[in-house]
Amino acid sequence: MKSFITGASGYLGQRLAIKLAENGEKVHALIRNPKAVKTLEHPNIKFFFGDVLDNISIKTAMEGCETVFHVAALARVWTKNSDDFYKINVGGTSNVIRISQELNVSKFILTSSTGTIGPSLNLPNNEETPRWSSFNNDYEISKSLADTELLKHAANGFPGLIVMPSRIFGPGIASPSSGVNRIIIGFIKKGFAVIPKQSGVIGNYGFIEDIINGHILARDKGAIGEKYILGGENKTLGELFEAIKNRVNKNGLVLKIPVWPLSYYSLFSQFLADRFGIEPRITPDLVKRLGQNSAFDCSKAISQLGYRITPFEETIETTIRFLSQSEDR
């Protein structure tokens, strides 16, 4: 089987491309940065330079492929021009869908995000949970619009479906899309971390290897027009940091502070971003999300795809070992 992957130079796309190649499959990898070739070197991977806004490069790279994994996205909470979220995440998705239709691909897997479902209340969210809160940022809005675009075409016979990773972490290249990895690296370097006092807030943490396997299972077993949450265990913020501290530096410090200093700092950071184009370290919407539960239920993927969740303790151990070795190099 031959697969086309957009965003193959990113954190998730790179690992997916390597996994498919190691399984003996041929991969056409669409990348923007020539430096990314080094992390994707494999005899089963062929490189194509371009991006999802360039129809010619998409079509050239997709020729001869049966499956499309559309992983590419602008996955940040801020960018100088907010229109970029819609150009890339919505317009880019439309481009890849249109060319997939022209080339008559057999399966199209769109990588979305649990962020499109929004925060959870008393029970973990599933694929059918209606969004009850407003969107936090342009990234979430744009990804939700991309989902809508895919489902519209799927309703008319296009062989597309959606996978929705939660907060991804694990071994891999450095990326702004893995906040958990950045937290671990920060603790390794500094020996301390600062978190809000409301450390009982719940999040869902998905191990990257599980999520990659989920993408492949979605291709092989997923139903057209369906959504599948690909995540891990639900843990409180306090549990996450305690697990990191116990494995990195038991004598390290996890400092719990009120939310209001973070709120003021985020407003100042946002002001600098808006006025001078300086990327903010923390944004007001991120502070808002720190107070929202984001628990998710992967039962649908488990029952319909055969998705498996690696135990949290094991995944944290593996991730810290990898990142510690990377920092030592």
pLDDT in tens, 286-300: 888 888 999 999 999
Which residue type, as a one-letter code, is found at position 180? V
| pLDDT bucket at 259, cuts 50 / 70 / 90 | confident
Percent of the chain scored above 70 by pLDDT?
Answer: 98
Domain 2-175+204-233+294-311 belongs to what architecture?
3-Layer(aba) Sandwich (3.40)
Point out the least confidently predicted range of 145-149, 194-198, 322-326.
194-198
| pLDDT bucket at 285, cuts 50 / 70 / 90 | confident
Average pLDDT, whole number, for the chain?
A: 92
Average confidence (pLDDT) over 117-128? 96
Q: 229 pLDDT exceeds 90?
A: yes
Q: Which residues of the chain form beta strands (DSSP E)? A: 2-6, 26-31, 45-49, 67-70, 107-111, 160-165, 167-169, 192-196, 202-207, 227-230, 233-236, 253-257
Q: 83 pLDDT exceeds 90?
A: yes
Is the Cβ–Cβ distance between 309 and 214 less than 8 Å? no
Separation CA 1–CA 5 (nearest Å): 13
pLDDT in tens, 156-211: 999 999 999 999 999 988 776 678 898 888 888 888 888 888 789 999 999 999 99
User: Looking at residue 278, what DSSP letter applies?
Assistant: P
| pLDDT bucket at 318, cuts 50 / 70 / 90 | very high
Q: What is the pLDDT of residue 328?
A: 59
Neighbours of 247 (CB within 10 A): 17
Q: What is the pLDDT of residue 280?
A: 83
Q: What is the pLDDT of residue 146?
A: 98
Domain boundaries, the chain: 2-175+204-233+294-311, 179-197+238-290
Give the DSSP per-residue string, 82-112: THHHHIIIIIHHHHHHHHHHHTT-SEEEEE-
Q: 327 pLDDT exceeds 70?
A: no
pLDDT in tens, 1-47: 899 999 999 999 999 999 999 999 999 999 988 888 888 999 999 99
